[in-house]
Chains A and B, each alone.
Chain A
């Protein structure tokens, strides 16, 4: 299994698999968020399930592992790639018509990480983490935290910008992970591109719909 570290395709394999795992998590998280539109008591019930229970903690740890792997490998690969490019850069900037997202995956990733940290502070810290270390004022009813925040236009704006960055990241990331796993070819390329765009759009709209709903409701 050493090849997962010392070969380029091995490292990319890790990027790809951890990426797919995170996409699946996003889909789950999105469905969970959407229940809030229909019933805040159902949402609070899910939040309780995912409080300081052993299975929720194990899930959180696995998820954190996935995030750390994805970011760690991304940083490592990016540094290697900059080295491979050499010290002299082109004076005439590249005119190759590549997709913008493909060229800026790392930057998009940094933006996504930033949003993630805000999110962790706003929600995870006040909920699961506070409950875990028995902090006073740990929130178990998620809806009490979410609804006021999502009624704040500035927060919603930041949230949506974050989702746009995520959309760009996923339009490249999803098909790219299949390419890395070898599941691509002349026939599959257009299909995978389409799937990428669909998945990215579902995730963006699915997440965005919740704050937009509460913002409109407040008006």
Chain B
């Protein structure tokens, strides 16, 4: 049977980066369990517009869990209570009739609020620009299997590459650390032959940028991997530590 629920929403509202934020409470009735979380916010926004009020601003794009644009800290979890999904993939059936749902933006000094639930994640782009690429020309498509890559490395590299850059790891971390993101972006390249050449310089440059932008120091709480919608593992962080230390000691 289809689940229909009535909910109370406590939503963070903030006019601009400098403005003081506050919580606003909204009542929303007869929401189908098949509604996605963002669709539910759409319904709420439509109501607000009809009432002549300002709709709630939130980030989103693909709405199928691949772009990494959606965010939201819902009831104490980045991307809500369900595991291994993004907010756009979260459905209202995970909530019960009469629930109060608290919705907040990512909170981290490096991700300032732009408006309401939308934060500025440009810091991630800056980290990528610092070294998250391969600068050699690898030529045309090489012959398949000309360079053997072990299945383990290939799988690890794919798992690291599944990071969508959403920033939930930073949002979950009590230290505001971006290590899971950076380590995924370093690993996806460092595990493969094309990326290995610049591995040392890349680790150093990306860590330097990460520190400069004011992200915190990782204390291995594992909050990031527990909340990451793509299940990126902290073994990536160990790899990044390893590469960084190796690079510094061989300087």
- B-chain residues with CB within 8 Å of residue A96 when the two chains form the complex: 76-77, 172, 223, 226-227
- CB of A186 within 8 A of CB of B73, answer no
Taking CB as reference atom, which chain B residue is nearest A2? B248
Total CB contacts across the A-B interface at under 8 A:
146
Q: A181-B242, A186-B233 are in contact. List 10 more A-B contacts (CB 8 A).
A: A7-B211, A7-B244, A8-B215, A8-B216, A88-B21, A94-B174, A98-B222, A180-B241, A182-B240, A184-B238
Q: Does A123 contact B (CB under 8 A)?
A: no
Return the CB mask of B94-108 against A: 1 if under 8 Å, else 0: 000000001010011
Given contacts A81-B217, A96-B223, contact A9 B245 (CB under 8 A): yes
B contact residues around A185 at 8 Å (CB): 235, 238-239
B172, B174, B210, B220: which has the most chain A beta carbons within 10 Å?
B220
Complex: how many Å from CA A158 to CA B176?
35
Q: Which of B194-251 contact A (CB under 8 A)?
A: 207-208, 210-211, 214-223, 226-227, 233-235, 237-246, 248
Q: How far apart sit A9 and B218, CA to CA, in the bound complex (Å)?
A: 8
Give A118-146 interface residues, CB cut-off 8 Å to B.
none
- Counting chain A residues whose Cβ lies within 8 A of the other chain, the interface size class is 35 or more
Task: Find chain B residues with CB under 8 A from A102 CB.
Answer: 219-222
Question: Which of B23, B222, B226, B234 has the most chain A CB atoms closer than 10 A to its own CB?
Answer: B222
Known contacts A12-B218, A83-B109, A98-B222, A91 near B23 by CB under 8 Å:
yes
Tell me whether chain B's interface is mostly helix, strand or loop, or mixed.
mixed
Q: Are B76 and A11 in contact (CB under 8 A)?
A: no
Q: Report the separation of the CA atoms of residues A97 and B77 in the bound assembly, to the nearest whole angstrom.
A: 10
The minimal Cβ–Cβ distance linking A94 to chain B, given in whole angstroms, is 5
Tell me if A85 is interfacial: C-beta within 8 Å of chain B.
Answer: yes
Whether B223 pairs with A84 at a CB distance below 8 angstroms is no
